[in-house]
Amino acid sequence: MNTETKKHVSLAIMMFMQFMLVAVWWVSLAAWLENMGASGDIKALVLSSMAIGSMASPLIGAFADRYLPAQRVLAIANLLTAALLAAAGFAAGSWWSFAFILLAMLCYMPTWSLTSSIALVHARRELFPRIRMFGTIGWVASGLFSLAAVYGFGVEKFDGTTLPVFCGSAVALLAAALNLNLPNTPPAGAGKRLSLFQILGLDAFWMLNKPDYRLFMLCSILAMISFSMYYSFGSEFLQSCNYEYITLTMNWGQTVELFFLFFATTIIARLGIRWAMAAGLAALTARYLSFWIGGVASIPALYITGILFHGLIFGLFFVGGQIYTDRRAPAALRAQAQGMYSFIIWGLALLAGNFFCRQLIDSYTSVDAAGVKIYDWNTIFGMVTGVAAFTTLFFIFSFKEINENKASTN
């Protein structure tokens, strides 16, 4: 195995571990909160821990750009995540558990931009979707934990319990050790004078002065608001429909994502960023339309169809967004640019989306005489379908991509 191949293998392992460690517990988190009797506001807050954690991404990106090699920052973040998830598991049932989850996500979420930055430094941009694909493989593989627990160890129930949190802690600890073997990624901006914006990791926000990038981010924010209904509350929906293996069911979407990530380079090259991302947004609309029709026409199979659209949505729109961000950022700010993207999309937009969707769910949920919640998912998904359709049309008619990296001159 030559040096280049070894490098790509190590990057693939990095992605695999990074996404497995969060998927094993995050996918069923809404169901766990429901089973613990958490109120609607508490659910929205805890499910927004990913969004709040993403807001630390620019700061960590600035640190990696200036002071320490990115792979060391990544290993430290994983180690802290492992400790905090373990603490959340032991404190299950108390508000301390929610606090530890929030702290864990403050450490974990910046690793999304870090892993993207590391991969884009050591591999050609065209290969990034295929390297990122191994993160999706890790996400899908996280479903095996529930099968192993139920059939291998005789656990009565895995999803919706505290066990996934402990599994995430163990995987994070292993990831911390493996990431020490990543290729060295020294700070690109080492020795440069720091401003307050740079210390806070906000230097890359000047990219929002570019009309094309500003419009791209606006469309991404709108997309995330509707995307969060499935991403954050999908497990609550499936649990209310009496699905037993929630993580495995939702991971069918990530399985399809593998296919689209593998071919994303070809698709983006042929369609261009604009039309590739438009296809991802159209799939977002089709997902909720499938959920809505599935409920109105009593065709549960359409719920699985809606889940399968995840591959198109994530593989084309969100990964395409990371590629566009890298294209429009100067080399010395690429880690911060990915951090800024995470801050806005997986931070502010996901936070807004979670509270919007939580209010929407609560507005169309009642409790019967036996104390059982009755969800009006048909109305909920009908409204979200409208939001997604508007976002798709707005993007198609307003966004014009810039093909060349003119970040240093525009």
Q: Where are the domains of the chain?
A: 8-179+201-398
Q: Look at 340 and 88; give whichever has higher pLDDT.
A: 88
Ranges 50-59, 144-153, 192-201, most confident: 144-153
Per-residue pLDDT at 79: 96
Q: What is the mean pLDDT of residues 158-178?
A: 92
- Cβ distance 36 to 88 under 8 Å? no
Per-residue pLDDT at 406: 43
The band of 408, judged by pLDDT with boundaries at 50, 70 and 90, is very low
Q: Is the dihedral of CA 283, 350, 260, 25 positive or negative?
A: negative
Tokens of residue 3, six digits: 């040096």
In the chain, pLDDT over 90 holds for what percent of residues? 33
Q: Look at 104 and 257; give whichever has higher pLDDT.
A: 104
The b/e string for 267-300 (b: 16+ C-beta within 10 A; e otherwise) is bbeeeebbbbbbbbbbbbbbbbbbbbbbbeeeee
Q: What letter represents residue 183's amino acid?
A: P
Q: Is the dihedral of CA 275, 276, 277, 278 positive or negative?
A: positive
What pLDDT digit, counting tens, does each position of 173-211 carry?
Answer: 999 999 888 888 777 666 666 565 655 556 778 888 888
Partners of 374 in the β-ladder = 366
- Cβ distance 223 to 284 under 8 Å? yes
Per-residue pLDDT at 194: 58
Q: Does the pLDDT of residue 95 top 50, yes or no?
A: yes
- CA 340 – CA 205 distance, rounded (Å): 7
The band of 410, judged by pLDDT with boundaries at 50, 70 and 90, is very low
Q: Does the pLDDT of residue 83 top 90, yes or no?
A: yes
In the 8-state DSSP scheme, what is residue 195? P
What pLDDT digit, counting tens, does each position of 344-367 carry?
Answer: 888 889 889 988 999 999 999 998
The band of 266, judged by pLDDT with boundaries at 50, 70 and 90, is confident
Q: Is the dihedral of CA 176, 182, 184, 187 positive or negative?
A: negative
Instruction: Give me the DSSP letters along 323-356.
Output: HHHHHHS-GGGHHHHHHHHIIIIIIIIHHHHHHH
DSSP SS3 for 300: coil
Tokens of residue 199, six digits: 């210390």
Long-range contacts (CB closer than 8 Å, 24 or more residues apart) made by 371-380: 373/240, 375/237, 375/240, 377/237, 377/240, 377/291, 377/295, 378/292, 378/295, 378/296, 380/229
Q: Tell me the average pLDDT of the chain.
A: 84
* Overall pTM surpassing 0.85 (yes/no): no
Q: Does the pLDDT of residue 295 top 90, yes or no?
A: yes
Q: Is the dihedral of CA 254, 258, 263, 268 positive or negative?
A: positive
- Cβ distance 61 to 336 under 8 Å? yes
Q: H-helix or E-strand containing 365? A: strand 365-367
The band of 403, judged by pLDDT with boundaries at 50, 70 and 90, is low
Q: Does the pLDDT of residue 65 top 70, yes or no?
A: no
Could you give the count of Cα atoms lying within 13 Å of 151 in the half-sphere of its Cβ? 7
CATH of domain 8-179+201-398: 1.20.1250.20
Q: What is the mean pLDDT of residues 23-39?
A: 82
CB neighbour list of residue 122: distance below 8 Å, 6 or more residues apart: 7, 8, 11, 183, 185
Q: Is the dihedral of CA 33, 37, 40, 46 positive or negative?
A: negative
The b/e string for 180-218 (b: 16+ C-beta within 10 A; e otherwise) is eebbebebbbeeeeeeeebeebbbbbebeebebbeebbb
Q: Is the dihedral of CA 56, 360, 26, 142 positive or negative?
A: negative
Q: Does the pLDDT of residue 369 top 80, yes or no?
A: yes
Per-residue pLDDT at 195: 63
Per-residue pLDDT at 405: 45
- CA 313 – CA 374 distance, rounded (Å): 29
CB neighbour list of residue 70: distance below 8 Å, 6 or more residues apart: 64, 114, 117, 118, 121, 185, 187, 335
Per-residue pLDDT at 330: 80
Give the residue ranges of DSSP H helices in 200-309. 211-240, 246-296, 301-308
Closest CA to 285 of 381, 169, 150: 381
What pLDDT digit, counting tens, does each position of 111-136 carry?
Answer: 887 888 888 888 876 777 778 889 88
Ranges 170-184, 198-212, 279-293, 367-381, most confident: 279-293
The band of 409, judged by pLDDT with boundaries at 50, 70 and 90, is very low
Of the listed ranges 8-17, 55-64, 264-273, 280-289, the one predicted with least confidence: 55-64
Per-residue pLDDT at 252: 85
